Amino acid sequence: MERLMIQVPEKKSRLVKSLLRELGVVIEPDIFKLAKELNSSVARGKKPSMEEIVKETRIVRANSR
């Protein structure tokens, strides 16, 4: 399952949540809990540069074709 974080305008929040639920999407009620979980999954130490991330992404995409 994939996790996405999206920003929805307040005026459209109820409609968007309703549509997403109809599609089977699970809506995380506590965004801070989700953010903390995602942050804890990142390994400590040296963080990769943007160039390294792009290079790795291109390699993965090339191998999946």
Please give the pLDDT value at position 15: 94
Q: Which one-letter amino acid corresponds to residue 64?
A: S
Global pTM value? 0.43
Element (H, E) at 52: helix 50-63
Tens-place pLDDT, residues 22-57 = 999 988 777 777 677 777 777 777 777 888 888 888
With H, G, I as helix, E, B as strand and everything else as coil, classify residue 32: helix
Q: Which one-letter amino acid corresponds to residue 33?
A: K
Residue with tokens 């400590």: 44
